Amino acid sequence: MSLRRVVVTGLGAITPLGSTVPAYWEGLRAGKSGAAPITRFDASKFKTRFACEVKGYSPDNYFPTKEGRKMDLFTQFAVIASDEAIKDAGLLEGVNKDRVGVIWGSGIGGLKTFQDECFNFAKGDGTPRYNPFFIPKMIADSSSGNISIKNGFRGPNFVTTSACASSSDSIVAAYNFLRLGMADVIVTGGSEAAITEAGVGGFNALKAMSERNDDPETGSRPYDKDRDGFVLGEGAGALVLEEYEHAKARGAKIYAEIIGGGLSSDAYHITAPDPTGEGVVLVMQNALRDAGIRPDEVDYINTHGTSTPLGDGAEITAIQKVFGEAAYNLNISSTKSMTGHLLGGAGGIEAVASIMAMQHGIVPPTINHFTDDPELDARLNFTFNKAQEREINIAVSNTFGFGGHNTSVVFRKFRD
């Protein structure tokens, strides 16, 4: 059977840099840091006391009070970003909702809800008194469920959970469902809201996060010699993916075409990346093969680039193995230097960033670079500290997760 073309017709985002796609993109282009001292709880006793929070967020600005109380923060972010993308795509009228699905990604789900309910039980007299919304708020699929319920979308509906690769996996799953004819439109992306006592304490225990409390804005510094871990972020990124003929028939605006997706596993360690980068080599090779393109056709890679000492080096090693001499013609950047790491939501906002970069011909920078890492090839263009103008015809978005989950998504500038 012939596979159908799939295009992007809507974008949505709520991020530490801005609560809409235009605001988010402006923050990326300006090289703005989203990191600041934590306000969601008293972090004074934690090793890390800063994060990339969504600034000035209140659910009352988006939801009736009773409705907001029924959703964990990660689901609120999912609904907000998807609302923007759905409106942007013009999906509210004139589509067959039996053929519209939601495939969402979240690595952790309702961590705040789970934590609060356990705290409340521990403070009590041992009698189990749990909020009736505890389970519906906590489970990861409440995100896709709420999006479909709000909009009446009756097509495929589920959530992918693969740590930090979750929302890229949701995008690849949506792409496959569409090109195989199992739906006409799918709202996809991912969200996370793990800036809680449990989230920060847990990642501190793994020694995974930056502890640069004296200078939080520069805490996330991918590829810098003195990087000391990732900065936790929160928010959501949403895409409306649509079969091309369906989009064309309804006169939809088209941002880009998705032309490939690759998955692989490191099969190495539950948290550490394979230092040889072999799993990452495989995932990029799989993605390029699926897209039917050569390595030298890629212009930009939005890297996983979390600012961890081991992870950054393994990814760069893999890029050089896959792209060879063509690696020196690429622009590489890690937008996590600005947004922090959204865990399961990372692939969603980074897909939006990659598409906006193609739209505007601007590569967002890797900020907070101060000292070259002698272990990394200085001839590569890491787009340090300042955005660069460049025509981008093909962009790759990489995301990798604890457990060795690797995913690469390939976008191309749309041509009719």
In 182-295 the beta strands, taken as DSSP E runs, fall at 185-192, 235-243, 256-265
H/E run at residue 174? helix 166-179
Structure tokens at 235: 């928010």
Q: How far apart are CA 338 and CA 349, in angstroms?
A: 12
Catalytic pick among 52, 118, 246, 304: 304
Triad 405, 407, 410: Cα angle to 5° = 175
CB 273 within 8 A of CB 311: yes
166 phi/psi in degrees, rounded to 5: -55, -50
Three-class DSSP labels, 85-153 = HHHHHCCCCCCCHHHEEEEEECCCCCHHHHHHHHHHHHHCCCCCCCCCCHHHHHCCCHHHHHHHHHHCC
Give alpha helix (H) positions in 250-361: 278-291, 309-323, 336-339, 346-360
Measured torsion, CA atoms of residues 214, 220, 223, 227, in degrees rounded to the nearest 10: 40
H/E run at residue 200? helix 197-205
Residues 6+ apart with CB under 8 A from 67: none
Q: How far apart are CA 25 and CA 15, in angstroms?
A: 10
Length of the chain: 416
Residues 6+ apart with CB under 8 A from 22: none
For residue 96, give the amino acid letter.
N
Instruction: Examine the residue annotation and report whether 341 is marked as an active-site residue of this protein.
Output: yes
Instruction: Examine the residue annotation and report whether 164 is marked as an active-site residue of this protein.
Output: yes
Q: How far apart are CA 394 and CA 389, in angstroms?
A: 15
Structure tokens at 377: 């090839």
Spatial CA neighbour of 7 closest among 363, 358, 400: 358
Catalytic pick among 246, 341, 369, 405: 341
Q: How far apart are CA 79 and CA 150, in angstroms?
A: 9
Catalytic pick among 164, 246, 369, 405: 164
Active site residues: 164, 304, 341
